[in-house]
Chains A and B, each alone.
Chain A
């Protein structure tokens, strides 16, 4: 009696397993448990875990904090739009605004230092995508997400938007500079 006909035994849950099925179920279950334990394991021993720190905020409040940082730590500007490049002190709170269609301001961080990066959108959903590291985080309006981040290698990185946010989505890209720490 095939799969398109009623089973021969009325009570299907008493039908025995073949050895091949039993063996496979045990193996598959063990593997599922390994995958299960990998996540808590990485929280303890791994270094790459997305932060759980987030606060509700408003566009006005978030922009005010970003503006204060820009006023204090801008070191130069880039492009014809004169986008400020901000070099905050290591360990500081750093603000990155996502809005149609730019990341503001441009950040310059020091290699090996740790920063508290606050990311929020002031309008629609955006996607923070750091290239070529390929770290990808969803950015919501109204949720200020604090990610503690340690750049490991100097260089010029890109931040691109990878959540569809309208017609000029493909222009929503910016830079992130990682420089060697200043000699004391």
Chain B
């Protein structure tokens, strides 16, 4: 059978794009950015309502907008972009054709229809059930149906990705093992498959319940299965954004993993352990024993935490090694000082890494500890934590990658390069402040998903201390700063993609292979007989001493924060 295989080589990066794959990467990325735009406007409304001094929206609108914000950001923006990353990691990095582009388009349209259906249900006003849609609170059937359609589309896209790996392997478009970034993408896709399976187990019965075919859904059973889906879906993001960190380190610095074994094993740990770790969402629930909670959170979660701690060292470590080999070998931090801080791909990626580790990672482990969870469960600390992981971690990493993709994938120059330089800082610092102040307010007991912390209209209202109001005000100001950063990103990317100067390169050639097989690429390098060792760089046998020092700073903060919380717990009323 004749296979239509049009490839083009990007003249500036040397990356090879299969044209049908390229179109799919572009459209999925664009759909993601549109979701980000909608979610971003809603984010501003949520922030302005939770700011006690402003309280913009009435309660019914607030809960509606909060529901739509969560879904548009956590599901639609991130997953559309992740599908783009999967296609990129498979077809472009393996230099092979995308398997079944037609099926990939079916997946895309299923996801679009699902996203629109779900948004329509929410905006109609009878589905303000939050991202978690806990039963017995019910939404309109279209709410669940939209999510199911979207999930089916995403599942199909994952299988197109796996199919592409098979194509690459059988047509020998690469040598030996797949690149580390592709390996990370495989991790994300494997996690996605069983995440979506868990989602089907819970969302399909809930849909049937919403139309009256199932009479009762147990709330504890719902929460248990829902989190197998909800937590794992965030672990897809972690695998995806860690892959993006490695990709950007490779693109900007030519960095190679210090040890493929270490980095890949850490990805495997994600696959093995994250599903059980979703039990940490149920630590304050009745009807589950401590043994069950400890078993599922301790060994499973800590081995997944270990994986993140490993990536947290190996990504900057790889950058440090690359920089030192380029000659920035003086002292502990010359490599970091001389890094391209004006390149938004790098600055965004680096802030994503640091913010994810320090804010998201440490707070996540604290939340996931059986007893410590008692002092933060369902407070605004929880969204503080996940804005650090998902927004500083994932969204900022994806933004950083977008700055690289605009010239190579869309072949346009950035419209406002100076704005891009500042954007990652405005957004990153705004979001970090936002997360930290939320955590502060949560430590003081301010609830999440709550229209008015002054309890207007309540017969026996609670009065929060002034510090809690200060925290919420600072949170809102940081949130507005982050929204400005988000707007800068959207203006720049949308402007560049549609109106940016087209990149014309003399000698740009389209490689078309209309029939049959493309010739296998010639090996770019001869495999060395002995494994590469890092020459004379580093200090005291450590090739990346600066990174190691940063890692120890991280560990110290982690230990201090962890035990401060135990101290805090020990002062509350005895419970058993």
B-contacting residues of A (Cβ < 8 Å)?
A: 1-10, 12-21, 23-25, 27-29, 31-33, 35-36, 38-40, 42-43, 46-52, 54, 78-81, 83, 102, 106, 123-125, 127, 129-145, 147-152, 158, 160-175
- The winner among B136, B251, B460 for most chain A CB atoms within 10 A is B460
Q: Select which of B365, B459, B575 is within 8 A of A149 by beta carbon.
A: B575
Residues of the B chain whose Cβ atoms lie less than 8 Å from the Cβ of A166: 137
Residues of the B chain whose Cβ atoms lie less than 8 Å from the Cβ of A165: 137
Given A10-B527, A20-B538, A150-B575, 15 more A-B residue pairs with CB atoms under 8 Å apart are A3-B246, A10-B175, A20-B542, A21-B259, A23-B548, A33-B302, A35-B305, A124-B134, A139-B286, A141-B136, A148-B575, A151-B573, A164-B449, A170-B458, A173-B455
Contact (Cβ within 8 A) A134 B443: yes
Q: A4-B93, A127-B378 are in contact. Are A24 and B313 (CB under 8 A)?
A: yes
Complex: A133 Cα to B570 Cα, angstroms: 11
Contact (Cβ within 8 A) B375 A134: yes
Q: A20-B313, A28-B309 are in contact. Are A48 and B136 (CB under 8 A)?
A: no
Contact (Cβ within 8 A) B313 A21: yes
Q: Select which of A3, A123, A138 is within 8 A of B284 by beta carbon.
A: A138
Q: A137-B374, A162-B378 are in contact. Are A143 and B527 (CB under 8 A)?
A: no
Q: A21-B314, A152-B574, A173-B455 are in contact. Are A8 and B180 (CB under 8 A)?
A: no
Contact (Cβ within 8 A) B458 A49: no
What are 13 A-B pairs at a CB distance below 8 A? A17-B262, A21-B259, A25-B306, A28-B310, A39-B370, A42-B370, A47-B570, A83-B460, A124-B134, A131-B445, A138-B285, A140-B220, A163-B378
Complex: A129 Cα to B113 Cα, angstroms: 39
Task: Report the minimal beta-carbon distance from B353 to chain A, rounded to whole angstroms.
Answer: 14
Interface size class of B (residues with CB under 8 A): 35 or more
Q: A4-B250, A39-B371 are in contact. Are A32 and B573 (CB under 8 A)?
A: no
Contact (Cβ within 8 A) A167 B59: yes
Contact (Cβ within 8 A) A136 B378: yes
Nearest-CB residue, chain B, relative to A49: B576
Residues of the B chain whose Cβ atoms lie less than 8 Å from the Cβ of A23: 542, 548
Residues of the B chain whose Cβ atoms lie less than 8 Å from the Cβ of A79: 459-460
Nearest-CB residue, chain B, relative to A54: B286
Residues of the A chain whose Cβ atoms lie less than 8 Å from the Cβ of B545: 20
Q: Select which of B261, B313, B464, B525 is within 8 A of A14 by beta carbon.
A: B261
Contact (Cβ within 8 A) B175 A6: yes
Nearest-CB residue, chain B, relative to A80: B459
- The winner among A5, A32, A81, A147 for most chain B CB atoms within 10 A is A5
Contact (Cβ within 8 A) A25 B262: yes
Complex: A28 Cα to B266 Cα, angstroms: 12
Complex: A154 Cα to B460 Cα, angstroms: 18
* Total residue contacts A-B, CB cutoff 8 A: 337
Contact (Cβ within 8 A) B306 A29: yes
Contact (Cβ within 8 A) B378 A129: yes
Complex: A13 Cα to B263 Cα, angstroms: 10
Contact (Cβ within 8 A) B460 A129: no
Residues of the A chain whose Cβ atoms lie less than 8 Å from the Cβ of B285: 138, 140
Nearest-CB residue, chain B, relative to A14: B261
B544 at the interface (CB under 8 A from A): yes
A-facing mask of B361-387, CB < 8 A → 1, else 0? 000010001110011111100000000
Nearest-CB residue, chain B, relative to A12: B260
Nearest-CB residue, chain B, relative to A165: B137
Contact (Cβ within 8 A) B457 A168: yes
Complex: A127 Cα to B365 Cα, angstroms: 22
Residues of the B chain whose Cβ atoms lie less than 8 Å from the Cβ of A144: 286
B206 at the interface (CB under 8 A from A): no
Contact (Cβ within 8 A) A18 B452: no
Mark the stretch among B141-149, B475-483, B551-559 that contacts chain A. Answer: B551-559
Contact (Cβ within 8 A) B445 A46: no
Residues of the A chain whose Cβ atoms lie less than 8 Å from the Cβ of B93: 4-5
B514 at the interface (CB under 8 A from A): no
- The winner among B374, B551, B575 for most chain A CB atoms within 10 A is B575
Complex: A37 Cα to B230 Cα, angstroms: 27
Contact (Cβ within 8 A) B260 A50: no
Q: Select which of B177, B289, B465, B576 is within 8 A of A12 by beta carbon.
A: B177
Contact (Cβ within 8 A) B376 A136: yes
Contact (Cβ within 8 A) B255 A174: no
Q: A12-B261, A81-B459 are in contact. Are A133 and B572 (CB under 8 A)?
A: yes
Contact (Cβ within 8 A) A48 B303: no
B174 at the interface (CB under 8 A from A): yes
- The winner among A4, A17, A32 for most chain B CB atoms within 10 A is A4
A-facing mask of B285-305, CB < 8 A → 1, else 0? 111011000100111001101
Nearest-CB residue, chain A, relative to B305: A32
Complex: A124 Cα to B217 Cα, angstroms: 12
Residues of the B chain whose Cβ atoms lie less than 8 Å from the Cβ of A172: 458
Contact (Cβ within 8 A) A24 B264: no
Contact (Cβ within 8 A) A164 B63: yes
Residues of the A chain whose Cβ atoms lie less than 8 Å from the Cβ of B260: 7, 9, 12-13, 15
Residues of the B chain whose Cβ atoms lie less than 8 Å from the Cβ of A29: 306
Complex: A134 Cα to B136 Cα, angstroms: 26
Q: Select which of A2, A9, A125, A164 is within 8 A of B176 by beta carbon.
A: A9
- The winner among A2, A19, A46, A133 for most chain B CB atoms within 10 A is A2
Q: A50-B283, A125-B137, A145-B286 are in contact. Are A160 and B176 (CB under 8 A)?
A: no
10 closest residue pairs by CB, A with B: A158-B462, A145-B286, A162-B447, A2-B250, A10-B176, A54-B286, A136-B377, A32-B302, A12-B260, A164-B449
Residues of the A chain whose Cβ atoms lie less than 8 Å from the Cβ of B250: 2-5
Q: Select which of B317, B449, B456 is within 8 A of A169 by beta carbon.
A: B449
Contact (Cβ within 8 A) A10 B541: no
Contact (Cβ within 8 A) B180 A54: no
Complex: A80 Cα to B298 Cα, angstroms: 49
Complex: A174 Cα to B172 Cα, angstroms: 68
Residues of the B chain whose Cβ atoms lie less than 8 Å from the Cβ of A31: 555, 558-559
Complex: A152 Cα to B369 Cα, angstroms: 24
Residues of the B chain whose Cβ atoms lie less than 8 Å from the Cβ of A47: 570, 574-576
